[in-house]
Amino acid sequence: MDKKARKVSKRYAKHWFSAVGIFLIMYTLFVLLIPYVFHLYLVEVDSSILKDTYLYYGIYFLMLQFGTLIPFFLMRKTFKIKIRSFSREVKATFKDLFVQSIVVFTICIGMIYASNIIFSYLGVEPKLLSSIGLTFDDANLSNVLYVFMLLVATPLIEEYAFRGVLIHSLSKYGKGFAMYMSALIYALAHLNFVEFIPSFAMAYLLGKISLRYRSIIPTILIHILFNVFIYALCVIPSSITQYMAYGLVAIVGIAVYLILSGRYEFIKIQKTRNEKTAYMLFLSRPTVIIAIALMVADTVLFMFVN
């Protein structure tokens, strides 16, 4: 490729990444900032909506659904990404998916507790990994709509948006680049710095799986099962907590065995020569910088205002 072609390619990439940044700004405003400001307003005026949890989470569910689907739908249409390109029939055995799931569970659970310990020393309240915009509130764990959002709706929406549309929008410039950048955006979109490390790890692993099988179907299932497991940790009676601890130890043991015995497939994503340039171009786009800044600002707001 001659120098002129490289310049054209870079110019085209800048326009492409700037467009991605615009859609990420839309997503951040609609799903993170506007709902949070709306929540603060309800608290300030002592609105009756807060007392009706079904109405409150119904409104939030609509914000989450349309605030995510609209920007990523526009992103998919702009870049002409077909749904079947990331929802193909998975050509993998149950054993392969089971092994991948166990390892994802083990790594993410380990990251959660490691992150909680680190941030507890820094005086930051530890939280379990939550779906974007949702925290595990003990007062609402019995709310049917809240639980549905937590266990079903958000995994479906997030996998479509991040492991489906966003990864495929960026993978034109390298699958490794797309995997890391989508994981970074996903982690930043969470509402607590404590969740950054485990969220990034989860997005990284699920991104690998979606690229390996060219489908988000397995990542949707793993994400739902993971949220179910975390939810179970929150609702189980204290009298049987020790048995859950035994279960965690068993899962870790199974994961170690699968890795050491060679039954776990280490998914390798081939890197391209131009990925370093892609990182520089993507992270230097003003729209991307604004989107990331808004996500960080939302996290800081969530930590200090609460």
List, for residues 163-220, the tens digit of each pLDDT value.
Answer: 999 999 999 899 999 999 999 999 998 867 778 888 899 999 999 999 988 899 999 9
Q: Tell me, what's the pLDDT at 244?
A: 67
For tokens 């049987």, name the residue: 240
Q: Tell me, what's the pLDDT at 290?
A: 97
Domain count of the chain? Answer: 1
In contact, 112 and 126? CB cutoff 8 Å: no
Candidate ranges 6-10, 53-57, 106-110, 278-282; pick with highest mean pLDDT = 278-282
Q: What is the mean pLDDT of residues 279-306?
A: 87
How does residue 225 score in pLDDT terms, banded at 50, 70 and 90?
Answer: confident
How does residue 127 score in pLDDT terms, banded at 50, 70 and 90?
Answer: low
Q: Tell me, what's the pLDDT at 218?
A: 92
Lowest mean pLDDT among 49-58, 261-270, 272-281, 294-303: 261-270
The domain in which residue 143 lies consists of: 3-305
Provide DSSP, the chain.
--HHHHHHHHHHHHHHHHHHHHHHHHHIIIIIIHHHHHHHHHHHTT-GGGT-HHHHHHHHHHHHHHHHHHHHHHHHHHTT--GGGSBPPP---HHHHHHHHHHHHHHHHHHHHHHHHHHHHTTPPP-----TT----GGGTT-HHHHHIIIIIHHHHHIIIIIIIIHHHHGGG-HHHHHHHHHHHHHHTSS-GGGHHHHHHHHHHHHHHHHHHTBSHHHHHHHHHHHHHHHHHHHS-GGGHHHHHHHHHHHHHHHHHHHHTT-S----PPPPTTHHHHHHHHHT-HHHHHHHHHHHHHHHHHHHH-
- The percentage of residues in the chain with a pLDDT greater than 70, rounded to a whole number, is 87
List, for residues 135-175, the tens digit of each pLDDT value.
Answer: 445 556 777 888 888 889 989 999 999 999 999 999 989 99
Q: Please give the residue that has the higher pLDDT: either 127 or 70.
A: 70
Q: Tell me, what's the pLDDT at 161?
A: 96
Average pLDDT score, the chain: 83
Q: Is residue 281 over pLDDT 60?
A: yes
